[in-house]
Structure 1
Amino acid sequence: MVTDFPARNIALFIDADNAPAKSIEFILTDLANYGSLAIRRAYGNWKSDNLKQWEGCLCENAIQPIQQFDMTKGKNATDMAMTIDAMDILYQKNMAVFGFVSSDCDFAPLATRVRAEGKIVVGYGERKTPEAFTNACTTFSYVDDLGDDDEPRRKTNPVDGNTLKGDTKLLNLLRNSIEACADEEGWALLSRMGHSIRNQSSFDPRNYGYKGLGDLLSAIDLFEIQKNAGGGANRVRDLKKHP
């Protein structure tokens, strides 16, 4: 999670047809870590009963509803409208961070294009979201595991260490990032490691039930963690290479 860019402007785009309203408090709180939420828009057919869940939180959270009628049965114009607006803002406004809320893989090309312009892309969606979209984002957080509207917290228990050790893809990502950032003694600063990971994937330790990268590394128990004076993880090295 990023906490050192308070001056950056953020544009948030919500595909209300493919996102649960209960996730909005978590999303707004999380995005605030990246900077200032300058633009907040939610797209959908607001005449549809399917979006009733969103009505109460739009005004409360200063989110602008953008009406899109269903042109054809079974289809909607939300995806196209969101994409056009996002591209307009990309070139017309000074936005450093783009937040996309959807579980629809149709937004993968949009996320890829926005990242190509050097922007941070933060995605949110349900666990059914295809990897094509999650991997296109700088970071992607699942919102299935949140509490109720007035309690935006995760209910999921942390994934146990043995299960994490069996996740080859995760271990390769962590080990490659450590190696890329390590000094001559094998130590890698956690901050640099996190930056390296974000450049490779949409990894978010909270998707595994952990607050931060240091907590997840400690649970795996295959890495040596060195803590700072405040008790938080500061740097790490791979015990496989430095037993």
Structure 2
Amino acid sequence: MALNQNIALLIDCDNVSHRAIEGVLEELAKYGKVNVRHAHGDWNNPAMKGWIEKVHPNAIRPIQQFALTKGKNATDASMIIDAMDLLYGDNVNAFALMTSDSDFTPLVMRLLESGFTVYGFGEKKTPQPFVDACSQFIYTENLETAEEQEPAANTVTKAEAHPSPKKQSRNELRMNTALVKLLRTAVEQTSDEEGWAHLGGVGSYISNNSSFSPVNYGYKKLSELVKASELFEVQTHNKTVHIRDNRAR
């Protein structure tokens, strides 16, 4: 995925936890600047208290959407209109949608058709069609910050504020047949005559064909996940990593 993008982050506050916002912004910083940060919801709702506390520290603009009809989610329509305005505004070249609602799947497809990268962030309850539609999707539980359990405790360590998600073990990675197939296919399709593939090429192939992110498995980088799986030989030449399927030996 391209770096130095101008990214628009649109948040569906009705369907995703505020605890992950710092982690989402840190993740998006890998790819560019989050110039647009809009949080949609009914800010009169007491349930929005957690989000209210996150808005100003993270330079997020709250977009008010009143619940006009009981049982109907007006936030969805507000976000879609916002996205389409940005689509034709020429100010961004990538979108990030923070939601657990599959109703946004058609929006993702429309943005992709227009050539935009779409980063998805949602809870593990997010329906698979939305997950699969995104250029990359990360479960927000892997990005959540830990909140103090004791109100009287005024100090919290950096590690506690941003805990690392649990890394899946070698056996857990290998038992995930879809993951194993994805990795092996990517290596096979990008390898040379001797079976060696440039890790950068492997990552690009995976990004072009799935919503995969190593973060969902507890790893910050693809290289770390590959090494942990022990499915591949790994060699480094002049800081360039090459891998080969162990079955090619």
CA RMSD in angstroms, aligned pairs only: 1.7
Show structure 1 runs of 5+ residues with no match.
Answer: none
Residue deviations 1:119-161 (CA, integer Å, cap 9, x gap): 1111111111111111111111111132326756344321111
- Work out whether residues 146 and 163 of structure 2, in 8 Å CA contact, stay in contact via their aligned partners in 1: no
The equivalent residue for 2:206 is 197
- Please state how far the C-alpha of 1:208 moved relative to its aligned partner: 0.5
The equivalent residue for 1:18 is 15
- Please state how far the C-alpha of 1:229 moved relative to its aligned partner: 4.7
Aligned equivalents of 1:177 and 1:10: distance in 2?
27
AA matched with 1:94: N
User: May I ask how many residue pairs the two structures share in their alignment?
Assistant: 237
Aligned equivalents of 1:205 and 1:76: distance in 2?
32
SS at match of 1:216: helix
Tell me which of 114, 118, 123 is aligned to 2:120: 123
Q: Does 1:217 align with 2:226?
A: yes
Aligned equivalents of 1:223 and 1:103: distance in 2?
34
- Work out whether residues 34 and 97 of structure 1, in 8 Å CA contact, stay in contact via their aligned partners in 2: no
SS at match of 1:78: helix
SS at match of 1:11: strand
Q: Does 1:48 align with 2:45?
A: yes
Residue deviations 1:13-70 (CA, integer Å, cap 9, x gap): 0001111111111111111221112111000000001111011111121111111111
TM-score by length of 1: 0.92
Tell me which of 125, 145, 148 is aligned to 1:147: 145
- Please state how far the C-alpha of 1:170 moved relative to its aligned partner: 0.7
Aligned equivalents of 2:133 and 2:124: distance in 1?
15
- Please state how far the C-alpha of 1:182 moved relative to its aligned partner: 0.7
Residues 1-243 of structure 1 mapped to structure 2, 5 A cutoff: 5-6=3-4, 8-145=5-142, 146-148=144-146, 153-229=162-238, 234-240=241-247, 242-243=248-249
Worse-matched range after superposition: 141-150 or 207-216: 141-150
User: Percent sequence identity over matched residues?
Assistant: 44
- Work out whether residues 68 and 76 of structure 1, in 8 Å CA contact, stay in contact via their aligned partners in 2: no
AA matched with 1:93: D
- Please state how far the C-alpha of 1:94 moved relative to its aligned partner: 3.1
- Work out whether residues 138 and 198 of structure 1, in 8 Å CA contact, stay in contact via their aligned partners in 2: yes
SS at match of 2:162: coil
SS at match of 1:83: helix
Aligned equivalents of 2:42 and 2:81: distance in 1?
17
AA matched with 1:173: L
